[in-house]
Amino acid sequence: MISVPIQRLRPDARLPAYQTDHAAGMDLHAAPPDGEPITIPPGVVRLIPCGFALAVPEGYEAQVRPRSGLSTKHRVGMPNAPGTIDADYRGEVMVPLINHGDAEFVVTPGLRIAQMLVLPVPRVVWDEVDALHETARGAGGFGHTGT
């Protein structure tokens, strides 16, 4: 378990929370600054504030992922899933939501809009070589094994 400093930016903001004992992600809740619902018309992306900032520890990232319920019930998702919150970001956590549906979608204060996981991120050092070792797959990609 790691400890992550978090700052509530508005009194009504709900902090990320696990909804079940074995949940991988913590739910993120909408916290518009004015407390008013945010309407997302069809085909439009809106940035939804969560009302908190955090200090992800060095060597980690916070991944923001869509909620399956919003996508299956309302056709609302994230255009950049998963989103990454880097260890040096200190601004308000916000979630971009896109409405793929045919009707407006209203984000009310407190609505669960995404989920967040805090995960380790190893640093990579490149080892440039003249050739890579061969595999059975080789350079096959983009559906090379079928649909």
> Residue 82 contacts by C-beta under 8 Å, 6 or more apart in sequence?
63, 64, 65
Contact in structure between 19 and 52 (CB atoms under 8 Å): no
pLDDT of residue 136: 86
Q: What is the pTM of this model?
A: 0.89
Give residue 93's identity as a one-letter amino acid code: V
pLDDT per residue, tens digit, the chain (147 aa), is 999 999 999 999 999 999 999 999 999 999 999 999 999 999 999 999 999 999 999 999 999 999 999 999 999 999 999 999 999 999 999 999 999 999 999 999 999 999 999 999 999 999 999 999 999 888 888 776 766
CATH class of 6-120: mainly beta
Ordered by start, the domain boundaries in the chain are: 6-120
